[in-house]
Chain A
Amino acid sequence: VTAPKYLAAAALALGALATIAGSPRVHQNARLDVSRLAQVVEREEDHVTALELAAWIRDQRDDVRIIDVRDSADFEAYHIPKAERIALDELVSTPFRASETIVLYSDGGAHAAQAWVFLRALGYEKVYFLRGGLYEWLDDVMNPSIAADASDSAKAEFERVSEVSRYFGGVPRTGDAASSLPSLPVPAARESGSTKAAVARVRGRGC
């Protein structure tokens, strides 16, 4: 008879204290094992290359979620196939499954790398960012090129890259063809800090 009364009193006390304790969420600061993260970065396990990401998309890996952290105008203008847009401030409150592999990208790499730190701090393990951002995607996947006098092994590798590139509507170029296209906008885009010109070029091909 007394045990239920004790339990009721305990529940009452814990309930009453809850009113003045405040929300449990404010104590949920993300935690960061900095030395462990440093090792991950050191081992270069923090990022993927554009070609690796392209292969994942081509292989239709359904455990991979590609997150574009740029603004909606940039996203509407161009984004990596299968990407979804989540702004940085929303990203930290977006629930992901532990089994999902998350790939983050931005124009360059800075915002995506910062987002990587946020998600790692929140405890997600399988998080990567696209090292060179959308620029790298445009350079290596959409506009790959190789010098005409490249070695045979380099050419064999380029053939493999070209296959991935064509899957995404890219236009691989060899030798003089690459250098004879002065309007190839990627270097200019890097300097102006915008992918718009590069994007316009890719979209202009109608892919």
Chain B
Amino acid sequence: MIAPFYELGFIGEGASLAVAALIGIAFGWVLEQSGMGSANKLAGQFYFRDLTVFKVMFTAILTAMLGIFWLGWLGFVDVSRIYVPETFLLPQLAGGIVFGAGFAVAGLCPGTSCVSAATGRLDGVAVMGGMFAGVLATGFLFDRISAFYSSTARGPLTLPDLLGVPYGVVVSGIVLIALGSFRLSEALERRSALVR
């Protein structure tokens, strides 16, 4: 049995949803445990006070990347069957700016807003409300924005294909970037603690 289990038909839709629910609960649990339900903590990264979000997210990327590479190498995962989201250059650039602005203003991103709301924080509830309002508005206006939505399509891009560099070299490059940036972010945190 090799992964991805749902894509390769080893598990059905029900089992897939059950696994998704378990992973979702675990994800929410870990986010809350690492303090990411608090907008104060999250906003700290924009002032280089507290780079926990950056470190947690980059650690997750690093762990998943190494896991997929080595499980694929050992034959437990069919890497070619993992879904790679397609790139739409301008719409995703616009979306990224809106997302980043919202993150800085609210101090929460979609996942952490759910965690924040689940622990009874009102700002989390407000962000979730805004998120659903935005989703609904996009749905109603979709006919008007659909041309932009699907413009500048680049298909599924991966760093090895884009850079023309072997997969393993990209993996080791990302590891070096991650470890370097962890060190840099801890230095920034120490400096801002001294300033205060």
Contact = CB atoms under 8 A, between A and B. Distances in A.
State yes or no: do A and B come from one complex. yes
The main secondary structure of chain B at its interface with chain A is helix
A18 B72 contact: no
Interface string B76-99: 011111010000000000000000
B69 A24 contact: yes
Nearest to B172: A15
A98 B7 contact: yes
A97 B7 contact: yes
B66 A15 contact: yes
B75 A23 contact: no
Contacts of A28: 72, 75, 78-80
A23 B83 CA distance: 18
Interface in B142-190: 166-169, 171-176, 178-179, 182
Interface stretch (A6-14, A41-49, A81-89, A195-203): A6-14
B182 to A, nearest CB: 7
Interface residues of B, number: 35
A123 B9 contact: yes
Given A8-B179, A12-B179, A21-B73, A93 B172 contact: no
A12 B172 CA distance: 7
Given A14-B175, A19-B168, A124-B9, A25 B70 contact: no
A61 interface: no
Contact of A8 (B66, B79, B174, B182): B182
B55 to A, nearest CB: 10
Nearest to A9: B179
Interface in B31-46: none
Interface in B1-55: 2, 6-9, 13
Contact of A22 (B71, B74, B168): B168
Contact of A12 (B9, B80, B175): B175
A175 to B, nearest CB: 47
A23 B168 CA distance: 6
Contacts of A99: 13
Contacts of A12: 175-176, 179
A95 interface: yes
B7 A11 contact: no
Interface of A: 8, 11-12, 14-16, 18-25, 27-28, 31, 93, 95, 97-99, 123-126
